[in-house]
Amino acid sequence: MSKENVAFIGIGVMGKSMAGHVLDAGYPVTVYNRTPSKADDLVSRGAKWADSPAAASEDADIVITIVGFPQDVEETYFGESGVFQSLGSGGLVIDMTTSSPLLARRIAEVGAEKGIGSLDAPVSGGDLGAREARLAIMVGGSQTDFDRARPLFEVMGKNIQLLGPAGSGQHTKMCNQIVIAASMVSIGESLAYAKASGLDPKQVLAAIETGAAGSWSLSNLAPRALDGNYEPGFYVKHFIKDMGIAIDSAAEMGLELPGLKLAKELYDRLAADGGADDGTHALFRFYFEGKQAG
């Protein structure tokens, strides 16, 4: 049985690896990215290039998108050259961007009117998880659409869960980001404390990472920061976007998140200080370089 045609839109830090896994699994893949050169490697490996989301979707059975911000998602789907301009009835769209739950529901509603299935499926695991095909994939949508997409999810990730109807994947990703925001602040403060007390932060990290304080961020991002490597596995500017979505979504539900608001204030300061395109672990510079908020 032949595999479905896949359009993959968004060839960024994570999308490139994810699209590569889909291609390596034998799916016919058409790619689009706003910066064409980022797709050159995939095209050299057999992917087909398209000049717009609409062109990429013309012959697709399934469209996967992972772009930057909610406005980029909106343009990708609803713009003049968007996915919904060309994807036919019976198609399936999977937005893997971390975006707004409200927008996920809108995509699902418009898709249903056109006979198109829809899943919101944001991911966690960063650039390393994308490269090693072990992302956590949080999915909102119907069981039927989830079952159809599952073989694709399985070539990109390991922990794959359907959480509920449209928007549920995005709400779950907000839960994930809330935890990460608090942990990034606590890791920075912990290692700053280690340094101030005369300890070797790397040795402290080795001592605590396998105990109750252990986390993915502690084991994978803190070592990069201690080596002065702030290259992005996930951009500060995108994390700020995520925190803003979580704060707004919480407000709609009548929920206060003071810890998240504090973390976002620190990240806003980091972006204003020139760190918007750094990795999220660049927050630790505030602690390592004595730039904490007073």
- In 126-248, DSSP assigns E strands to 135-140, 157-164
> Active-site residue 3, yes or no?
no
Convert 60-91 to b/e letters by CB count within 10 Å (16 or more is b): bbbbbbbbbbbebbbebbeeebbbbbbbeeeb
Q: Which of 173, 195, 202, 264 is catalytic?
A: 173
Q: How many CB atoms lie within 10 A of CB 265?
A: 12
The C-alpha angle 13, 16, 21, rounded to 5 degrees, equals 130
Long-range pairs for 245-249 at CB < 8 Å and ≥24 separation?
A: 245/70, 245/98, 245/99, 245/100, 245/101, 245/170, 245/174, 246/174, 246/177, 246/178, 248/100, 249/100, 249/101, 249/171, 249/174
d(CA 90, CA 13): 30
Return the active site residues: 173
